[in-house]
A and B are shown apart, each in its own frame.
Chain A
Amino acid sequence: GAVVSQHPSWVICKSGTSVKIECRSLDFQATTMFWYRQFPKQSLMLMATSNEGSKATYEQGVEKDKFLINHASLTLSTLTVTSAHPEDSSFYICSALAGAGTDTQYFGPGTRLTVL
């Protein structure tokens, strides 16, 4: 149980285009999802907290107009990187909380974004 998927697993795009990444909880409902980014050989940095039906809460330094997050249902959150640039190339990982009373996050397999 508690499986989180991400799609796509990798994507290559041209500079200036937008890319959407999906995060789904497959066998549970997730009222809260998190988006992290991980640069090569570095740790995960929290970008934003996504709550179903409300606006995402962004961490300091993360541009909310560049990284659009939508959490339209209890099993799906999307991250759209708008007008992507090479510096946005990274590994994006989502996680989900399996219930309101839990503190354990289940992580997706990640999406590798390369912007040319």
Chain B
Amino acid sequence: AQSVTQLGSHVSVSEGALVLLRCNYSSSVPPYLFWYVQYPNQGLQLLLKYTSAATLVKGINGFEAEFKKSETSFHLTKPSAHMRDAAEYFCAVSEPGRRALTFGSGTRLQVQP
């Protein structure tokens, strides 16, 4: 069985500040890991994914995440927050071959001017 834990249901940062959204996973096999962003009343947009290649993954909109097997973590970062980054962020895990995603509970990012 696999699970995802996102620490912090709400994160607030100032515009221009570092964004750090935490994600820890549990999986019985080497996982695939994803970060998705959801804007109000919209579906999910893929930010980035890790599928056993480079452990530092760069995604869209300046986001990146690092897979750390020893810490079972896949935290999402962005050096400088923009107002448009305000949204809900979901970390997700899948087992290679199964494809269905297990989502974390989500983190709402607020960006203060």
Residues in chain A within 8 A of chain B (CB atoms): 4, 6, 32, 34, 42-46, 49, 93, 95, 97, 103-110, 112
Q: How far is the CB of B107 from chain A (nearest CB, A)?
A: 10
A43-B103, A43-B106 given as contacts; is B96 within 8 A of A110 (CB)? no
A32-B94 Cα distance, complex, nearest whole Å: 15
B90: chain A residues at CB < 8 Å are: 43-44
Bound Cα distance A104, B100 (Å): 10
B46 within 8 Å of A (CB atoms): yes
Complex interface bits, B58-102 against A, C-beta within 8 A gives 1, otherwise 0: 000000000000000000000000000000001000101001111
Whole-angstrom distance from the CB of B40 to the nearest CB of chain A? 11
| Complex: A44 Cα to B44 Cα, angstroms | 10
Q: Which residues from chain A contact B36 at a C-beta distance below 8 Å?
A: 107
